């Protein structure tokens, strides 16, 4: 699968960015955001990126029988986020296979990068969870994103 | 619906009790368990109580097409639970209607009651979320529990 | 404590309203929003309402040593919310004691009320979790809200 | 930092294993465990492993002023876990630096591996979140684990 993980910088002009506010629900007794919750923030950005490209995931599932599921995550946590922080979560596709999409993501507070991740999504049949080809319209939209990036 | 909310005391001999350990995931930056998470703990106890009575909820759904959903919760939070606390979560039916079950629940640490709740469950059709009669075997098991209580 | 629980209607003109989008993280295998997560949504609205009134809770804690914690919740769940729903969560104070605030909250999708709650907040010392008087500026702001409501 | 990421097989005799039951709180509308929740499960296993080795993290923090935080996670999700699944979560140190511990983890259901991860923990000052040397007793215990593994 010809997938080249991309790089994404804070403030990178081409990336889709979604604001996330940190509430008490996101923090733990260490006083900072609980590590698993960065994955929740990153999924919100991916959902909004797909929506902005014209794809509602409930509609996709109803119309084509597919789901995007996470196959792997490489997550780096650099600095802690805290209650009340106003974060920016970016999302940019960095590669695509027949049934998978690679996405580079970043969480920043102002100019400071707090976390970054490479996420591989698999396109699967919603009932059996086996890989299926990415629907053509989604493929085209992501190719546009990948093209813009270069 | 002839439902009489019951009372439940810490250490009440007849109640089903399930142990819950507090992890970082359960706490917030206030240093204590995040309030919504008591509802997660209480649902674990209800699931294990039903399992102990012989009912697996995935099996119930596959066989009878029903789900138990929460219709209302009255939750009182008395003292904070903290990271590493070993809690006991109790669960005791306190009443039953044609399509609803009332459950009294309590969260204790040692002799100390930290939280209590009255939860009303509705038995619904898993697709349409409309009330349906509680399946007869579940009804019988709960009647036993209600009988024992008196 | 002279606290009169208020009533709040969907679309009630005077209430503070905060938008909440439903993501996968909020749902469960029943296909709908997991019941405890309504409490997360409601806390977001309370946080934003306090922010809009000029109070940042981290600042309040640093300056006055207090935290607002939830003492009780009466939650009614009327209809399920689902993935991708665009919800409105309202928040309106309905009463105040020396160290407590009562808040009426509602979750709506369009014109439809999905959930409602009465939440009692206690103002506590952030270290010892014992009740302390609500700081005067917060008290004044809430009195304004209570006054507007009548 | 001489850290050699280890390998861990399902049923690997030397690994610490912790049982985790899947509740509704852990699933999403896709009908399976929400991806971020594998990180919650894995942290429970790490907490219980440290406890079994004699280390309570609240005690460690009070006595030595340190916290273990996650610095990076490489998570692979192979097959979905579902409601009611009885999972086993393993945990085995695979390397250690002055201020970091590498842990290999696995989530299995019966003989089937559903997920695996390599997690790097950093030992930090609980107030300033800067790296500090792992306390000697923890270091010794982990060296024992690392020695047993070879």
Residue-wise pLDDT for B29-79, tens only, equals 999 999 999 999 999 999 999 999 999 999 999 999 999 999 999 999 999
**Calpha distance C45→D64 (Å, rounded):** 38
Tell me which DSSP letter residue D15 carries. Answer: S
Q: Looking at the complex, report in whole angstroms how far the Cα of residue D9 sits from the nearest Cα belonging to chain A.
A: 18
Start-to-end CA span in chain B (Å): 20
What tokens does D110 get?
A: 């019966």
3-class SS letters over B59-77: HHHHHHCEEEEEEEEEEEE
Largest CA distance in chain D: 46
**Check whether domain C16-149 has CATH 3.10.129.10, yes or no:** yes
Encode pLDDT of C28-45 as tens digits.
Answer: 999 999 999 999 999 999
> With an 8 Å Cβ cutoff, are A24 and B28 in contact?
yes
Give the closest residue to D8 by CA, choosing from D87, D101, D108.
Answer: D108
Of B24, B40, B84, the CB nearest to D56: B84
Please name the helix (run of DSSP H) or strand (run of DSSP E) that holds residue D43, with its range, or none. Answer: helix D37-52
pLDDT for the residue numbered B1: 27
Residue reference for tokens 């950005």: A45
Contact A73 D35 (CB under 8 A): yes
**CB count, 10 Å around CB of B4?**
9
The residue ranges of DSSP E strands in chain D, in sequence order, are 16-21, 66-77, 86-96, 100-109, 112-125
Report the SS3 class of residue A1: coil
pLDDT of residue B67: 96
Q: Searching chain D, which residue's CA lies closest to the CA of residue A61?
A: D30
**Is A28 a catalytic site residue?**
yes
Percent of chain A with pLDDT over 70: 89
Distances (CA, A) of D58 to B24, B84, D47: 10, 7, 11
Catalytic residue among B12, B28, B58, B125: B28
Q: Of A28, A63, A76, A125, which residue is the catalytic one?
A: A28
Q: Which residues contact B34 (CB under 8 A, 6 or more apart)?
A: A24, A25, B26, B27, B28
Q: Is D129 close to A67, i.e. CB distance below 8 A?
A: no
Q: Does A5 touch chain D (CB under 8 A)?
A: no
Task: Determine the Cα angle at D84 with ends B32 and D28, to 5°.
Answer: 65
Please report residues of B whose CB lies closer than 8 A to that of A34: 24-25
- Taking 50 as the pLDDT cut, the residues of chain D under it are 1-11
Q: For B79, name the nearest residue in chain C, comparing CA atoms only.
A: C129
- D82 interfacial to chain B (CB closer than 8 Å): yes
Cα–Cα distance for residue pair B102/B123, rounded to 1 Å: 11
Q: What is the mean pLDDT of residues C97-108?
A: 98
Closest Cα to residue B50, out of B119, B129, B98? B119
Report how many helices (DSSP H) and strands (DSSP E) chain D contains, helices first.
Answer: 3, 5
Question: Could you tell me the pTM of the whole model?
Answer: 0.92
Q: Quick check: A107 and A114 in contact, CB under 8 A?
A: yes
Q: Nearest chain D Cα to B56, which residue?
A: D84
Min distance A102 CA to chain D CA atoms (Å): 14
Q: Across the interface, do C76 and B79 touch by the CB < 8 Å criterion?
A: no
**Distant-in-sequence, close-in-space partners of C112: CB < 8 Å, separation ≥ 6:** C10, C79
């Amino acid at each position: 699968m010809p997938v080249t993980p991309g790089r994404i910088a804070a403030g990178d002009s081409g990336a889709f960015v979604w604001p996330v506010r940190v509430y008490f629900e996101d923090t733990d007794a260490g006083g900072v955001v609980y590590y698993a919750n960065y994955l929740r923030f990153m999924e919100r950005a991916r959902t909004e990126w797909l929506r902005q490209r014209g794809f509602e995931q409930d509609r996709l599932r109803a119309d084509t029988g597919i789901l995007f599921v996470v196959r792997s995550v490489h997550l780096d946590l650099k600095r802690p986020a805290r209650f009340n922080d106003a974060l920016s979560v970016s999302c940019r596709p960095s590669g695509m296979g027949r049934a998978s999409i690679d996405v580079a993501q970043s969480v920043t507070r102002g100019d400071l990068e707090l976390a970054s991740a490479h996420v591989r999504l698999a396109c699967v049949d919603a009932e059996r969870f086996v890989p299926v080809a990415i629907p053509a319209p989604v493929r085209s939209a992501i190719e546009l994103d990948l093209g813009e990036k270069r």
